[in-house]
Structure 1
């Protein structure tokens, strides 16, 4: 499609705000409006934490671009994002939430994510921004400048043009989604999901990072204490050098050292890949971290996480419930990937079958999900419901019958 024609209804590219006074005026305008669309451009591959390079904002009166590398003090914006009066509309806003937590030392209070909202209105979550714009607005936006250098100045006119597109439709999209959600009786679901998204991001930040290492649950207790020590060493060192932790020292190398637990640099260098010059710079520190971890008494070893664990589940049960969940979501025109994953299904089975329904409610039994699918899935587990093929041509071909009916 000809881009010049597809953009004929778009607003003109916004000027780049780089002065404190203009930025403060914009924040006052946002406070008066009470609602704003928000997006960011950042660089993450070169720094310990993503470097914020551009802020895109849109009020009902217009779209704005802010240069955070030029504006000395952005605190007025972060205060707005974290207050309880300003509604913030984003698309796939995990990184925006993290920026708020980092700079405001608080989480957003009134956040709307149109990607989440669309998952409650249709199948296909998570939809890209351009797909939501096309679906909801019937408009076309360009592919994102995924390879742009957002840190480099001056920014090119084309970069600014694309950046404006990322926010200029968000408010209208949410306005239309809100009407649709209200009509379907799902508006409360949406607000619950926005809160869940914020809580999930916060929990990811609060959770001990080493527990996110691939396969950590298979480590013995002695291996876990070394994994924790090496992870914390890497994190401290990456922050000191302002480099991404996984670039400084790869996960697979860290995990290999957890298994081997070398006692000297010589032993460590027998591990393939450890001969790299940049790794050798930290060789003594790595060995010392391992040594200190090995010397810790058992009462200082990591404690088991609070998450549910147990023996492997029978795949048949998981697959059966997955079919049921998929059918229910298709029948209700919901995105299954938003409603629940295989991990959520396994969590439900453990809670209902193995734990005797004790402990915290699993995700699929909490809130609106319990009404949508939780009761159906537990009834299947209890043998109270049977399923059969009703219409093989339908998107939801299965029918669930009460046993005895």
Structure 2
């Protein structure tokens, strides 16, 4: 198939509507975005690339006024949107269109299941599948400048030019290995998770060393984190430009009661101190005045060294299964899921699985992980019991 190397520039509403009408007749389309996010919380769309397998279309979001046709295309369940490593692209569409595209097919996920390696870049995938080199010299370009350079236009077009051919070859490989449903399931999960409303109340769980804090301190940290999440979005600035997590931790721990003491907390941006000192002090006071029954319980400390044998057994089991399937272990389970399994058995000794391991992964590794966890614990307990009845020698 001959793919045009000359992209079609779309900068008028009527052109976009016509293009989207035609693309909705296809079973799948290639999709990519270029954006800027240096000084903002939200990505600023600089370009939307669509491909039909023959031509690359470059949509100028700075010129288009009516995005309704593109929104309808992104939500058309009869048209698969093929993207590569799509998490940031999803954010672009959420910001620009207010929707999460569906259904999606992430070629990075598919490539891993097809045996091309974990977290493979798009250029590497195209080279591996089609033996075609794609230049990546415009990765950090200014996509908000107009006009775009010839080099930028070529770069953007190539990002979707070969995608549907790669998609077709991945489909063949995945069908042959009976792994296509695994990929579709994981891609569907990306859409579901992207559509979930943000839960700012849980943001404090991600702060390093939060497990060291007491309930009152956690209540303050929780409310500080909620404030940061709300304000960084409202001001459209990166979270760390407003205030960094270590500073929030120190504020919650030290609970400064006046501006002078707050200023002694390290690494709070001067702009934040200038504009938000009163707000931060009020959050501390208001949080401390709440009913203790509403304060968070202390967070789990890092796993004890006594859990090391169990973690080692779980990881070895997954490595063995992954090796037998010729898959990267990271594709089957995440690091925090090992820990979740280990923690589930700390009270009562009965282990359970994180939700993600209850889908197609249950038969592949989930059921086995539960058996390994239970057997490892039985072995450790038996050894402890033997040691406990050994004679004690008093010198």
TM-score bin (small chain): 0.7 to 0.9
**What's the CA shift for 1:251?**
2.2
Note if contact 1:364-1:373 (Cα within 8 Å) is conserved in structure 2: no
**What's the CA shift for 1:95?**
1.8
The structure-2 alpha-carbon separation of the partners of 1:148 and 1:227, relative to structure 1 and needing over 3 Å to count, comes to same
CA distance in 1 between counterparts of 2:84 and 2:273 reads: 38
The DSSP-based 3-state class of the residue aligned with 2:338 is: helix
Tell me if 1:60 matches 2:65: no
**What's the CA shift for 1:93?**
0.5
Partner of 2:41: 48
CA distance in 1 between counterparts of 2:121 and 2:24 reads: 29
The DSSP-based 3-state class of the residue aligned with 1:32 is: coil
Note if contact 2:210-2:218 (Cα within 8 Å) is conserved in structure 1: yes
The structure-2 alpha-carbon separation of the partners of 1:214 and 1:166, relative to structure 1 and needing over 3 Å to count, comes to farther
Partner of 1:91: 84
Partner of 2:286: 292
1:375 paired residue among 367, 373, 376: 367
Note if contact 2:4-2:54 (Cα within 8 Å) is conserved in structure 1: no
1:131 paired residue among 124, 132, 135: 124
CA distance in 1 between counterparts of 2:8 and 2:317 reads: 51
Q: Deviations over 1:243-285 (max 9, x none)?
A: 2222122222222212211000011112233473553332222
1:35 paired residue among 23, 28, 35: 28
Tell me if 1:184 matches 2:177: yes
The structure-2 alpha-carbon separation of the partners of 1:46 and 1:352, relative to structure 1 and needing over 3 Å to count, comes to same
**What's the CA shift for 1:204?**
7.9
2:192 paired residue among 187, 199, 206: 199
CA distance in 2 between counterparts of 1:174 and 1:341 reads: 25
The structure-2 alpha-carbon separation of the partners of 1:28 and 1:358, relative to structure 1 and needing over 3 Å to count, comes to same
Tell me if 1:366 matches 2:358: yes
**What's the CA shift for 1:200?**
3.5
Q: Map residues 126-275 of structure 1 onto 2, 5 A cutoff.
A: 126-143=119-136, 145-203=138-196, 205-206=198-199, 208-274=202-268
The structure-2 alpha-carbon separation of the partners of 1:344 and 1:203, relative to structure 1 and needing over 3 Å to count, comes to farther
Partner of 2:274: 280
**What's the CA shift for 1:106?**
4.3
Note if contact 1:33-1:60 (Cα within 8 Å) is conserved in structure 2: no
CA distance in 2 between counterparts of 1:83 and 1:369 reads: 28
Give the structure-2-normalised TM-score: 0.85
The structure-2 alpha-carbon separation of the partners of 1:203 and 1:317, relative to structure 1 and needing over 3 Å to count, comes to farther
CA distance in 2 between counterparts of 1:316 and 1:123 reads: 32
Tell me if 1:329 matches 2:318: no
> Alignment RMSD, CA only?
2.7
Note if contact 1:125-1:335 (Cα within 8 Å) is conserved in structure 2: yes
**What's the CA shift for 1:320?**
2.1
The DSSP-based 3-state class of the residue aligned with 2:58 is: strand
Give the structure-1-normalised TM-score: 0.83
The DSSP-based 3-state class of the residue aligned with 1:56 is: strand
Greater Cα offset, 96-105 or 214-223: 96-105
Note if contact 1:322-1:342 (Cα within 8 Å) is conserved in structure 2: no
CA distance in 1 between counterparts of 2:226 and 2:96 reads: 23
Greater Cα offset, 102-111 or 56-65: 102-111
Note if contact 2:33-2:92 (Cα within 8 Å) is conserved in structure 1: no
CA distance in 1 between counterparts of 2:15 and 2:290 reads: 55
The DSSP-based 3-state class of the residue aligned with 1:26 is: helix
Q: Map residues 114-125 of structure 1 onto 2, 5 A cutoff.
A: 114-122=107-115, 124-125=117-118
Partner of 1:388: none
Gaps of 5+ in 2: 377-395
